[in-house]
C-alpha cells in the first residue's frame, strides 16, 4: 500500500471464512497506516474500502451503543468501534481480529447469534405490569432505578455470551446476557411476575449453570457485572415466596409518591 | 404463489422507534401477520443512540423559584402551579420550526406526548426519577420549560429496547438483517416491497395490504455526522424512485455539539444541564447571538453562531474548525449521574475527561427535517394537494408530517417517531381490518431487482465506492451545509451529476452472495446520490433563509413567497420538478412572528 511516510504502517490480521467457498478459517494480513485516533473499526473500514471489499463485519453506531461490532481482538472480546488500534498492537505492530468465539461463523467476522436471541426471548424480556395501571407514571425511587443500572445499559452485543465457558459447552444455558435482562425485570418494582421468572431461572438451564468463572465481567464493554446479577437471582430464587410477597406489598403503593427520607 | 414471494398483512421497513411502535400497535389491535424488516438487528437501529431525552409537558419539575433561567431544577411540589403546558410545547415547536411546521400536526404531537410518555413508562421503560418517583426532566434548547424526559443520557437506548420487547410480546415477526431494495407502487396503490435477505443474498417480493417506511435519516451524506453508519437514507431514495415525492428536503439539521473531527454526538443534554460553549478566547460567545437563551437557543441558531466564530478565526483545534464545550463547572457528581455516556465517549474518542477538561466539538450533520410527506395518520401523500398513496404509510425521521418545519427542537424527534409511529400502526390496523385486499403485483419485481444487483456485481469498473462516497460527502458538506449560496449549490448539483456518472463505473469487490456488505455499500451510495441531488436542488430553489436553511445571498425570511413546503417529484433523469404546498397555520392563535431568542 502507498505510504508517504507520514504515519507508521501496522499489520492487521483478520480471520477470513466464507462457508460457501472456504474449507476452514484462515488468517489474512493487511497493512494500514496508524493515524492518530484510529480505532480497530477504522482499520477494518480502511481495509474494506480500499483493499478488499469482501472483508465482512457488522457495525453501525461507531460509538459503543448499538452492540453490532463485538469481535475478538487478540483473544479478548470487545467492541472494535471503541478499541484504539494503537493500544491493541503487539511489539511487532500487529493486531489479530477474529469473530466472537463459540458461535457459528456466517462470514469472516460476522457470527450467527440465533441462540443468543432465542435465550433473550425465552426470559420474556418485556415487563409484565400489574393489573392496575395508574393514570400517570408508576412511582419508582431513584434508588430503585439505580439498582437496575447494572442491567439497563446492556447493549446486547454478545461479548459476554461468547466468552462464557458454559456457553462454549452448551447453548441450552440461558447465558449471561439474558440472565442480566431477567435480573432487570425481576428487580423492577413494576414487574408483576418476579416469582414466575425466578422459578424459571432456577431451572436446569438457568442461574445454577453459572460456575462464576467471571469471563463475562472481563468481556463486558459496558463495565456491567452479569455474575453479580446471577448471584442475586440465585439468592432471590431461594426466598422466592418472601420476595413475591414483598413485591405484592410494594405494588400497592406504585402510584403513590415516594416518601422523602 | 412462488417461492420468491412472501405475504404479510402489514410490512414495515425499519425497526427503530417509529417502525417498532407501528408494529406493536397494529399487532395488539389484532392484525395477525405483521412483519418488520430491518437491515440491522432491530436493537441496533439508530434510535438507540439517542441520548438526551424525549419531550412531553409532564410538569414533574420546575426551576427553583427565583434562581433565574439557568438555575437548578427541583421536583414540582404537590399542589404547586405547573410551569409547563401542552400549549407552551406547541408554541415552542412552532417557533422552533420557524413557522414552517404544520400546526395541526404539531398540536397532535404535543398533546399525545403526555400519553405516549406514560405508555412507555407502563411498558417498563427505565427513566431517571425525581426524588418522589416521577419521571425526571431537564432543559433542552428552544423549549421554554424543562420538558426533556430522560434516562441518564441513554434515553433512546431504553426507549428502543422497551418498544422492541413489546413488539416481540405481541408476536410481531422480524426479518432481521433484510435490506429493502424497492417499493412497489402502481396506479397510486402500494403493493409491497422487494427485499434481500442479507445472509443468503436471496431477493424476495414481499406483498402486503399495507406497507410502511420507517427507515430513519440520512446523515451519512455528510462528512461530519452524528449518525450511525447505517443512516444512509435508503427509504428516501427508494420512495422517490418509486414516484413518491419528497418534501422540505432543503432542511438539514446540524447539531452544535459533535465531537471534533468525529462528529459523534455530545448530547444537547450537556447544555441542558448547564454546559457552556467557548471560543478560542474562552468567551461564551452565545452572548452575542442569543442573549436570552444563550447555549440553549435552538440548534440552527447555535450551529450558525459556532460556524461564524470558526469562520472569523475564533475556532480551536489544528484546523481552527472546533469550539470548546465546557462541562467542568457541573461537577463530577452531576456528570457521572446524568451524562455518563457522553463522558465515556469524550474519553474514548478524544482522550478528554469532561470533568477536568474542555471538550473539543464542532457542528455535525444530525437530522433530516424533510423527506416523505404524510398526513397526521402516517398516510403518505402523492402530491402537494394531499392525494393519498393507498396502502403506503411512513413515520419517524423518514417522514415529513411536518412537525419540525425548518428546524427541529431537540427531544421532539423521539417524540415524533413515537407518536406518529403509534398513529400509523393504528391507521394501518384500521385499513387492514376494514376489508383491504391484497393488491395484485404485475410482473416480477424481485427479478427486476436481482438484475440490478447482478449488473452492479458484474460491473468491471475502476471506481471505488468509497472514493465516490467521500467526494459526495465533501461537496454536500462544503455546499449544502450550515451556510449556503447559489454558486455553491450549483456546484453541488454539478458535482453530483459527475459522481452519478462515476457511479456507473463503480466496482463492487465482493462477488459473493452471502452477507455481501460491499454490495450494500454500493446500493447505499446510489441512494445517497439520489436524494442529495434533491437536497441541493430544493436548497437552490428556496431563495430565503428559514430555520436550518440559511442562504448567505438571501439572509432574510420571506413569508410572502416562502411560507410553503417544497415538494420535489422525480422527473426522469432530469433534476426534480418542484411544486409547493401551503403550511397549515392557525392564524388566530399562532400567526408567524419574528423568531428571536
Ligand atoms: C446521536 C443521536 C442522538 C439523538 N438524540 C436524540 C434525543 O435525545 N432526542 C430526540 O428526540 N432525538 C434524538 N435524535 C434523533 C432521533 O434519534 C431519531 O430521529 C429517531 O430515533 C429516528 O427514529 P426512526 O424510527 O425514524 O429511525 P431509526 O431508529 O434510525 O431506524 C431506522 C430503521 O430503518 C431500518 N432501515 C433503513 N434502511 C433500510 C433498508 N434499506 N432496508 C431495511 N431496513 C432499513 C434500519 O435498520 C432501522 O431499523 C438523535 C439522533 C442521533 C443521531
Ligand atoms: S458500532 Fe455500534 S457498538 Fe460498535
- CB B272 within 8 Å of CB B155: no
Tell me the sheet residues that pair with A43: none
Q: Judge whether residue A210 has pLDDT over 80.
A: yes
Pull the grid cell for residue B469.
462516497
Query: By C-alpha distance, which of A251, A241, A246 is closest to A131?
Result: A251
Rounded-to-integer distance, Cα B212 and Cα B433, Å: 16
Last residue of a domain, one of A56, A75, A110: A110
In the three-class reduction of DSSP (H, G, I as helix; E, B as strand; rest coil), residue B339 is classed as coil
* Cβ-defined contact of A56 to B517 (cutoff 8 Å): yes
Residue for cell digits 443512540? B49
Query: By C-alpha distance, which of B426, B545, B466 is closest to B25?
Result: B426
Query: What is the residue-wise DSSP string for B249-301?
Result: TT-EEEEEEEETTT--B--THHHHTT-EEE-TT---THHHH-TTTGGGS-HHH
Rounded-to-integer distance, Cα B590 and Cα B97, Å: 12
Amino acid B1: pLDDT: 55
A199 and A147 co-located in one domain: yes
A88 and A123 co-located in one domain: no
A106 and A72 co-located in one domain: yes
Rounded-to-integer distance, Cα A138 and Cα B118, Å: 9
Helix (H) or strand (E) holding B72: none
Q: Judge whether residue A1 has pLDDT over 50.
A: no
Rounded-to-integer distance, Cα B544 and Cα A83, Å: 45
Amino acid B3: pLDDT: 76
Helix (H) or strand (E) holding B130: none
A159 and A224 co-located in one domain: yes
A121 and A105 co-located in one domain: no
Pull the grid cell for residue B329.
463547572
Does any domain span residue A70?
yes
Min Cα–Cα distance to chain B from A107, Å: 7
Does any domain span residue A229?
yes
Torsion over CA: A201, A206, A212, A215 (sign): negative
Q: What are phi and psi of B176, to 5 degrees?
A: -80, 135
- CB B151 within 8 Å of CB B133: no
Domain with A39, as residue range(s), is 9-110
B174 lines ligand 1 (CB under 6 A): no
Per CB-CB distance under 8 Å, the chain B contacts of A48 are 517-518
Provide mean pLDDT across the span B455-475: 97
Amino acid B283: pLDDT: 97
* Cβ-defined contact of B348 to A50 (cutoff 8 Å): no
CA of B231 to the centre of ligand 1 (A): 8
Per CB-CB distance under 8 Å, the chain A contacts of B521 are 53
Q: Judge whether residue B8 has pLDDT over 60.
A: yes
Helix (H) or strand (E) holding B530: helix B517-541
Probe site for chain A from B129, B360, B513 (most A CB atoms < 10 A): B129
- CB A177 within 8 Å of CB A154: yes
B499 — pLDDT class (breaks 50, 70, 90): very high
* Cβ-defined contact of A18 to B49 (cutoff 8 Å): no
A120 and A246 co-located in one domain: yes
Question: What pLDDT, in 10s, does the model give residues B281-316?
Answer: 999 999 999 999 999 999 999 999 999 999 999 999
Q: Judge whether residue A4 has pLDDT over 80.
A: no
Residue for cell digits 478528554? B352
Rounded-to-integer distance, Cα B369 and Cα B413, Å: 9
Provide mean pLDDT across the span B451-477: 97
Query: What is the residue-wise DSSP string for chain A?
Result: ----SSS-EEEEEEEE--TTT-SS-EEEEEEEE--TT-BHHHHHHHHHHHT-TT-----SSSSSSS---EEEETTEEEEGGG-BHHHH--TTSEEEEEPPTTS-EEETTEE--HHHHHHHHHT--S----S---SSPPP--HHHHHTTHHHHT-----TTGGG-HHHHH-TTS--HHHHHHHHHHHH-TT-S-HHHHHHHHTSTTSGGG-----HHHHH-TT---HHHHHHHHHHHHHTHHHHHHHHHHHHTTTTSPPPP-
CB pairs under 8 A between A and B: 167
Rounded-to-integer distance, Cα B210 and Cα B427, Å: 10
CA of B329 to the centre of ligand 1 (A): 32
* Cβ-defined contact of B49 to A188 (cutoff 8 Å): no
Pull the grid cell for residue A143.
434508588
Distance from first CA to last CA of chain B, Å, rounded? 60
Give this prediction's pTM. 0.97
Rounded-to-integer distance, Cα A55 and Cα B247, Å: 38
Q: Judge whether residue B2 has pLDDT over 80.
A: no
A178 lines ligand 2 (CB under 6 A): no
* Cβ-defined contact of B48 to A155 (cutoff 8 Å): yes
Does any domain span residue A24?
yes
Pull the grid cell for residue B385.
394537494
Beta strand spans in B146-243 (E): 148-149, 173-176, 178-186, 189-197, 202-213
B53 lines ligand 1 (CB under 6 A): yes
**Mean pLDDT score of chain A, rounded to an integer?**
95
A19 and A146 co-located in one domain: no
Catalytic residue among B299, B343, B408, B450: B299
Question: What pLDDT, in 10s, does the model give residues A42-54?
Answer: 999 999 999 999 9
Interface of A with B in 186-245 (CB under 8 A): 188, 190-191
Rounded-to-integer distance, Cα B59 and Cα B79, Å: 11
A131 and A237 co-located in one domain: yes
Residue for cell digits 421503560? B125
Min Cα–Cα distance to chain B from A56, Å: 7
A37: alpha, beta or left, given left = phi > 0 and alpha = psi -120 to 50?
left
Is A139 an 8 Å CB contact of chain B? Answer: yes
CATH of the domain at A94: 3.10.20.30
Does any domain span residue A1?
no
Does any domain span residue A4?
no
Does any domain span residue A184?
yes
**Mean pLDDT score of chain B, rounded to an integer?**
97
Which of A42, A48, A68 for a ligand 2 pocket mutation test, highest count of atoms within 8 Å of Cβ? A68
Amino acid A65: pLDDT: 96
A180 and A210 co-located in one domain: yes
Rounded-to-integer distance, Cα B236 and Cα B252, Å: 14
* Cβ-defined contact of A37 to B509 (cutoff 8 Å): no
Tell me the sheet residues that pair with A97: A14, A73
Rounded-to-integer distance, Cα A158 and Cα A164, Å: 10
- CB A64 within 8 Å of CB A221: yes
Torsion over CA: B49, B210, B36, B219 (sign): negative
A71 lines ligand 2 (CB under 6 A): no
Provide mean pLDDT across the span A33-45: 95
A89 lines ligand 2 (CB under 6 A): no
Tell me the sheet residues that pair with B174: B36
Does any domain span residue A261?
no
Q: Judge whether residue A3 has pLDDT over 60.
A: no
A122 and A105 co-located in one domain: no
Does any domain span residue A2?
no
Last residue of a domain, one of A94, A110, A126: A110
A13 lines ligand 2 (CB under 6 A): no
- CB B529 within 8 Å of CB B496: yes
Question: What pLDDT, in 10s, does the model give residues A246-256?
Answer: 999 999 999 99
Is A143 an 8 Å CB contact of chain B? Answer: no
Last residue of a domain, one of A93, A110, A127: A110
| Residue B505 appears among annotated catalytic residues | no
Ligand nearest to the CA of A39: 2
Per CB-CB distance under 8 Å, the chain B contacts of A63 are 49, 264-265, 345, 348-349
A15 and A54 co-located in one domain: yes
Percent of chain B at pLDDT > 70 equals 100
Task: Quote the number of domains for chain A.
Answer: 2
Q: Judge whether residue A6 has pLDDT over 90.
A: no
CATH of the domain at A136: 1.10.1060.10
CA of B413 to the centre of ligand 1 (A): 9
Min Cα–Cα distance to chain A from B237, Å: 20
A30 and A86 co-located in one domain: yes
Min Cα–Cα distance to chain B from A66, Å: 5
Provide mean pLDDT across the span B437-459: 96
B40 lines ligand 1 (CB under 6 A): yes
* Cβ-defined contact of B510 to A61 (cutoff 8 Å): no
Per CB-CB distance under 8 Å, the chain A contacts of B261 are 37
How would you write B230-245 as a 3-class SS string?
A: CCCCHHHHHHHHCCCC
Tell me the sheet residues that pair with B259: B361
B51 lines ligand 1 (CB under 6 A): yes
Q: Are strands B372-373 and B359-368 parallel, antiparallel or unpaired?
A: unpaired
| ipTM for this model | 0.97
Percent of chain B at pLDDT > 90 equals 97
Amino acid A150: pLDDT: 86
Residue B55 CA, closest ligand 1 atom number: 11
Provide mean pLDDT across the span B490-515: 97
Per CB-CB distance under 8 Å, the chain A contacts of B319 are none
Question: What pLDDT, in 10s, does the model give residues B163-185?
Answer: 999 999 999 999 999 999 999 99
Pull the grid cell for residue A33.
497506516
Cα atoms in the Cβ-side hemisphere of radius 13 Å centred on A238: 6
Amino acid at each position: 500500500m502507498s505510504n508517504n511516510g507520514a504515519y507508521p504502517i501496522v499489520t492487521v490480521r483478520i480471520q477470513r471464512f466464507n462457508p460457501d467457498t472456504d474449507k476452514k478459517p484462515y488468517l489474512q494480513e493487511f497493512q494500514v497506516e496508524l493515524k492518530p485516533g484510529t480505532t480497530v473499526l477504522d482499520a477494518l473500514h480502511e481495509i474494506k474500502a480500499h483493499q478488499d471489499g469482501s472483508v465482512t463485519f457488522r457495525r453501525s453506531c461507531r460509538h459503543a451503543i448499538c452492540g453490532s461490532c463485538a469481535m475478538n481482538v487478540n483473544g479478548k472480546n470487545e467492541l472494535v468501534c471503541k478499541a484504539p488500534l494503537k493500544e491493541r498492537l503487539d511489539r511487532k505492530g500487529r493486531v489479530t481480529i477474529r469473530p466472537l468465539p463459540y458461535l457459528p461463523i456466517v462470514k469472516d467476522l460476522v457470527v450467527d447469534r440465533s441462540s443468543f436471541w432465542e435465550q433473550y426471548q425465552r426470559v420474556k424480556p418485556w415487563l409484565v405490569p400489574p393489573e392496575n395501571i395508574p393514570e400517570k407514571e408508576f412511582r419508582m425511587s431513584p434508588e430503585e432505578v439505580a439498582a437496575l443500572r447494572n442491567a439497563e445499559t446492556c447493549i446486547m452485543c454478545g461479548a459476554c455470551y461468547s466468552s462464557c465457558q458454559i456457553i462454549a459447552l452448551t447453548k441450552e444455558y440461558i447465558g449471561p446476557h439474558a440472565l442480566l435482562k431477567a435480573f432487570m425485570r425481576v428487580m423492577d418494582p413494576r414487574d408483576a411476575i418476579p416469582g414466575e421468572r425466578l422459578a424459571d431461572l432456577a431451572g436446569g438451564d438457568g442461574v445454577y449453570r453459572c460456575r462464576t468463572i467471571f469471563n463475562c465481567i472481563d468481556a463486558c464493554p459496558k463495565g456491567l457485572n452479569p455474575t453479580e446479577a446471577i448471584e442475586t437471582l440465585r439468592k432471590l430464587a431461594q426466598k422466592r415466596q418472601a420476595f413475591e410477597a414483598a413485591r405484592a406489598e410494594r405494588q400497592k403503593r406504585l402510584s403513590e409518591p415516594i416518601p422523602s427520607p | 404463489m412462488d417461492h420468491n414471494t412472501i405475504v404479510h398483512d402489514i410490512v414495515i421497513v425499519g425497526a427503530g422507534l417509529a417502525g417498532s411502535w407501528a408494529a406493536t400497535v397494529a399487532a395488539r389491535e389484532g392484525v395477525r401477520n405483521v412483519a418488520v424488516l430491518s437491515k440491522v438487528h432491530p436493537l441496533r437501529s439508530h434510535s438507540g443512540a439517542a441520548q438526551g431525552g424525549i419531550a412531553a409537558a409532564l410538569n414533574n419539575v420546575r426551576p427553583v423559584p427565583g434562581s433565574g433561567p439557568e438555575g437548578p431544577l427541583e421536583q414540582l411540589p404537590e399542589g404547586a402551579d405547573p410551569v409547563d403546558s401542552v400549549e407552551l410545547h406547541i408554541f415552542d415547536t412552532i417557533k422552533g420550526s420557524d413557522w414552517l411546521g404544520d400546526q395541526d400536526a404539531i398540536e397532535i404531537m404535543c398533546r399525545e406526548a403526555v400519553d405516549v410518555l406514560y405508555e412507555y413508562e407502563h411498558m417498563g421503560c427505565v427513566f431517571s426519577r425525581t426524588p418522589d418517583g416521577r419521571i425526571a426532566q431537564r432543559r433542552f434548547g428552544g423549549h421554554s420549560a424543562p420538558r426533556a424526559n430522560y434516562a441518564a443520557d441513554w434515553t433512546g437506548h431504553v426507549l428502543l429496547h422497551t418498544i422492541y420487547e413489546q413488539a416481540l410480546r405481541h408476536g410481531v415477526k422480524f426479518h432481521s438483517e433484510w435490506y429493502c431494495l424497492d417499493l412497489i407502487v402502481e396506479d397510486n396503490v402500494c403493493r409491497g416491497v422487494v427485499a434481500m435477505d442479507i445472509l443468503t443474498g436471496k431477493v424476495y417480493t414481499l406483498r402486503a395490504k399495507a406497507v410502511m417506511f420507517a427507515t430513519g435519516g440520512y446523515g451519512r451524506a455528510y462528512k461530519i455526522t452524528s449518525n450511525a453508519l447505517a443512516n444512509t437514507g435508503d427509504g428516501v431514495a427508494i420512495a422517490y424512485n418509486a414516484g413518491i415525492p419528497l418534501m422540505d428536503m432543503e432542511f438539514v439539521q446540524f447539531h452544535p455539539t459533535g465531537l471534533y473531527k468525529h462528529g459523534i454526538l455530545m448530547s444537547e443534554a450537556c447544555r441542558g444541564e448547564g454546559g457552556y460553549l467557548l471560543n478560542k478566547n474562552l468567551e461564551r460567545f452565545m452572548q452575542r447571538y442569543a442573549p436570552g437563551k444563550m447555549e440553549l437557543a435552538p440548534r440552527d441558531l447555535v450551529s450558525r453562531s459556532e460556524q461564524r466564530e470558526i469562520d472569523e478565526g475564533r475556532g480551536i483545534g489544528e484546523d481552527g474548525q472546533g469550539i470548546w464545550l465546557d462541562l467542568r463547572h457541573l461537577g463530577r457528581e452531576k456528570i457521572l449521574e446524568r451524562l455518563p455516556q457522553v463522558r465515556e465517549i469524550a474519553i474514548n474518542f478524544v482522550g478528554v475527561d469532561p470533568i477536568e477538561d474542555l471538550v473539543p466539538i464542532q457542528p455535525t450533520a444530525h437530522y433530516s427535517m424533510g423527506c416523505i410527506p404524510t398526513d397526521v395518520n402516517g398516510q403518505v401523500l402523492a402530491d402537494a394537494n394531499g392525494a393519498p398513496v393507498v396502502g403506503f404509510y411512513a413515520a419517524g425521521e423518514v417522514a415529513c408530517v411536518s412537525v419540525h418545519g425548518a428546524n427541529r427542537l431537540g427531544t421532539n424527534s423521539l417524540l415524533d417517531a413515537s407518536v406518529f409511529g403509534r398513529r400509523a400502526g393504528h391507521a394501518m390496523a384500521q385499513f387492514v381490518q376494514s376489508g383491504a385486499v391484497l393488491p395484485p403485483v404485475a410482473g416480477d419485481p424481485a427479478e427486476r431487482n436481482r438484475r440490478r444487483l447482478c449488473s452492479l456485481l458484474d460491473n468491471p469498473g475502476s471506481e471505488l465506492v468509497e472514493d465516490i462516497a467521500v467526494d459526495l460527502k465533501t461537496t454536500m458538506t462544503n455546499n449544502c451545509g450550515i451556510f449556503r449560496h447559489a454558486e455553491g449549490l450549483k456546484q453541488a448539483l454539478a458535482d453530483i451529476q459527475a459522481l452519478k456518472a462515476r457511479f456507473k463505473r463503480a466496482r463492487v469487490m465482493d462477488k459473493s452472495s452471502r452477507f455481501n456488505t460491499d454490495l450494500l455499500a454500493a446500493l447505499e451510495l446510489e441512494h445517497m446520490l439520489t436524494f442529495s441531488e434533491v437536497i441541493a436542488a430544493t436548497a437552490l430553489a428556496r431563495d430565503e433563509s428559514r430555520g436550518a436553511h440559511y442562504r448567505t445571498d438571501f439572509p432574510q425570511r420571506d413569508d410572502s413567497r416562502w411560507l410553503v413546503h417544497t415538494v420535489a417529484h422525480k422527473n426522469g433523469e432530469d433534476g426534480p420538478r418542484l411544486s409547493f404546498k401551503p403550511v397549515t397555520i392557525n392564524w388566530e392563535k399562532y400567526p408567524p412572528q419574528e423568531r428571536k431568542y
